[in-house]
Amino acid sequence: MRVARWLVWVVLVVCTARIAAAEFVDGEVRAHLRSGPGLEYRILKILPAGSAVRTLERSGDWVRVRHADLEGWVPSDYVSAEPPASTQLPQLREKLVVAEARISELDQKLVAQSAELVELATLRERNRVLEVDASNASANARWKALTAGAGIVLVGILIGLIAPRGGGTRSKLKL
């Protein structure tokens, strides 16, 4: 009975430790490169995560691969066409930094171009106002010239009507 209690206590401690450890995900997977397609074959090398391998053959749940000068078998679950996240992370961070720099640069260009656009709209409005003013000034100048000409003609007519004509006789010059 004492041995049974001791076994139950050991099982509870081990299970509790495993449950607590299950909260953390390592992300590091090591694949055993074996001499044949099965767990009964000996391990030739332990391949760390991110190791580049070349697939030679597939057989059920196992894949024959070549790593450096060594050929062996690895469970197919450990072989992926995508590089692992641990190797992609630095590249993605670098891409993120480049993208953020580009976004910042484009934001600055947008602000500058927005200011230029506002200035351009202001200049267009000012140009339109100046064109209207120039057109009005031209019309005013024509009107003034027309009224001045009409005034001169009227003054000439009035002078012609009012001024004495000399009575029809010509004065002779006496010397």
Q: Give pLDDT tens digits for 54-78.
A: 888 888 999 899 988 899 998 888 8
Residue 31 burial (C-beta neighbours within 10 Å; 0-12, 13-18, 19+): buried
Q: Give pLDDT tens digits for 94-138.
A: 999 999 999 999 999 999 999 999 999 999 999 999 999 999 999
Residue with tokens 């947008």: 110
Which whole-number Å values give the CA distances from 126 to 120, 122, 123, 129, 139, in the listed order? 10, 6, 5, 5, 20
- The class level of CATH for 29-81 reads mainly beta
The rounded radius of gyration (Å) of the Cα atoms in the chain is 51
Q: What is the pLDDT of residue 126?
A: 96
